[in-house]
Amino acid sequence: MRTSWDIFCHIVDNYGDAGVCWRLARQLAVEYDADVRLWVDDLTTFNLVSGGAGLDVSAELPRFVDGVWLHLWPAPWPANVLPADVVLETFACELPADYVAAMAVREFPSLWLNLEYLSAEEWVSACHGLPSLQANGLQKFFFFPGFNIATGGLLREAGLLRRRREFQRSASARATFLESIAVSAAPDARLVSLFCYENPALPIWLNAMSAGDLTYHILVPEGRVVADVCGWLGEDAFKFARVYRQGNVAIQFIPFLSQCDYDRLLWSCDFNVVRGEDSFVRAQWAGRPFLWHIYRQEDDAHLIKLDAFLSSYTAGLGVDEKATLVARWIAWNSGQIAPFGGGELFAGGVEMAGHAEDWCAALESQKNLAQSLVDFYQNWV
């Protein structure tokens, strides 16, 4: 018997909620033969992330896409839609009360999981998998993605790293991909992708890069940082096909890519600036040096998360590399000037590239998040 899954995705802002849920839903369906329904409450954002940007948001639903039944989250909940074997409430979204009531009266109650935000903080390992008794007698379990084996691990599709390494070994695969998105950088330029939030210090970083010794070709996907970059270029608006140049920096804006193509972009670049949760993980699977623009939280709670990740990530580095990387990441995330002059701001040295690959290989030995969820359900049953 196939296991049925309901994944609830409330899109708070940006693309991470949709991005994580879509990736996970597809993996469960394709690799674990699960019967998956994905309930989303914002089709415009979802269509963008799932590669259906051109789709009419009012197009008929449910729609069967890549093995997943995509539904618009209905309100009120229809009485004839019964809960699945496994119910995933993602990022603390609130399930419909009628749905929860129906979960409790199933002949065999649903497994109720709360898929939490990603964090490298130490307490996560201790809380992963803990139950919490609900008013209706059901248990809800906290499920934490994470960076060690005491957590649920990270989303990683089967064969992802093999495909990534093959791609990176093949100059022609990279060239063909870059050509397909109309990017042609000078051979000596460091290719950088810049997917981040607004940052008041960005112009200063760009100034230092444009006056430095190295040349950079920076690819900016459509999104929140575009205005800052346009401001630095002195442009009111941008054109996709055009390459803007200032000093040693060339800048190109690119359209929002499908998740698969975004992976290829990360694999193609020498350095990636990423943000939030999902692109942050994908940069780690890319095995290239990167910089994380963390999602800002009240009371600077994000800085604790940043620190926790940095402690793990830099554990294998020498004293100097560690100090430089930590200073750079903290400066970027506090909107400050980089604590050093021009030169290798983003590129990262050969050593950092080796470190990024070692870090990726260490994470690879962990169980992936979808597998952890499936195992959790099987143990629970």
Torsion of CA 206, 207, 213, 214, to 10 degrees: 20
Question: Could you give the CA distance from residue 150 to residue 257 in angstroms, rounded to a whole number?
Answer: 33
**Identity of the residue, 67 or 247, whose beta carbon is nearer to ligand TRH in the bound complex:** 67
Q: Under the criterion CB under 6 A, does residue 141 sit at the interface with ligand TRH?
A: no
| DSSP-based three-state secondary structure for 251 | strand
Q: Under the criterion CB under 6 A, does residue 177 sit at the interface with ligand TRH?
A: no
Residue from 17, 116, 270, 278 carrying the catalytic annotation: 17
**Identity of the residue, 88 or 111, whose beta carbon is nearer to ligand TRH in the bound complex:** 88
Comparing C-alpha atoms, which of 133, 155, 203, 149 is closest to residue 7? 155
- Among all chains, which residue has been given the structure tokens 């939490």? 116
**Considering CB under 6 A, how many residues would be counted as binding ligand TRH?**
21
Write the CB contacts of 40 (distance below 8 Å, at least 6 apart in sequence). 9, 11, 18, 21, 46, 70, 71, 72, 73
- Does 96 sit behind a cis peptide bond, omega within 30 degrees of 0 on the bond before it? no
Residues 101-130, one symbol each (x = binds ligand TRH by CB under 6 A, - = not), give ------------------------------
By CB under 6 A, what part of segment 25-54 binds ligand TRH? 49
Helix 171-180 vs helix 259-268: crossing angle, to nearest 10: 130
Q: Which stretch binds ligand TRH (CB under 6 A): 29-37, 166-174, 254-262, 360-368?
A: 254-262
**Identity of the residue, 295 or 377, whose beta carbon is nearer to ligand TRH in the bound complex:** 295
| 31 labelled catalytic | no
Q: Under the criterion CB under 6 A, does residue 146 sit at the interface with ligand TRH?
A: no
One of 221, 287, 289, 348 touching ligand TRH (CB under 6 A): 221
Q: Under the criterion CB under 6 A, does residue 16 sit at the interface with ligand TRH?
A: yes
Residue from 6, 41, 85, 277 carrying the catalytic annotation: 277
**Identity of the residue, 190 or 264, whose beta carbon is nearer to ligand TRH in the bound complex:** 264
Contact (CB, 8 A) for 347 and 216: yes
Q: Which stretch binds ligand TRH (CB under 6 A): 132-140, 152-160, 253-261, 344-352?
A: 253-261
Burial environment of residue 159 by CB neighbours within 10 A (0 to 12, 13 to 18, 19 or more): exposed
The total number of residues written for the chain in this structure: 381
The torsion region of residue 105 among left (phi > 0), alpha (psi -120 to 50) and beta comes to alpha
State the DSSP code for 92: T
* Cα angle, residue 204 at apex, residues 199 and 205 outer, rounded to 5°: 80
Comparing C-alpha atoms, which of 253, 248, 265, 267 is closest to residue 205? 248
One of 40, 89, 277, 356 touching ligand TRH (CB under 6 A): 277
* Cα angle, residue 266 at apex, residues 53 and 20 outer, rounded to 5°: 50
Residues 190-219, one symbol each (x = binds ligand TRH by CB under 6 A, - = not), give -----x------------------------
Residues 285-324, one symbol each (x = binds ligand TRH by CB under 6 A, - = not), give ----------x-----------------------------
- Among all chains, which residue has been given the structure tokens 């210090």? 201
Comparing C-alpha atoms, which of 181, 180, 115 is closest to residue 151? 115
Q: Under the criterion CB under 6 A, does residue 358 sit at the interface with ligand TRH?
A: no
Q: Under the criterion CB under 6 A, does residue 15 sit at the interface with ligand TRH?
A: yes
| 277 labelled catalytic | yes
One of 17, 41, 85, 270 touching ligand TRH (CB under 6 A): 17
Question: Could you give the CA distance from residue 17 to residue 338 in angstroms, rounded to a whole number?
Answer: 30
**Identity of the residue, 84 or 294, whose beta carbon is nearer to ligand TRH in the bound complex:** 294
Q: Under the criterion CB under 6 A, does residue 145 sit at the interface with ligand TRH?
A: no
Catalogue the active-site residues.
17, 277
Residues that bind ligand TRH (CB under 6 A): 12-17, 19, 49, 195, 221, 256-257, 259, 262, 275-280, 295
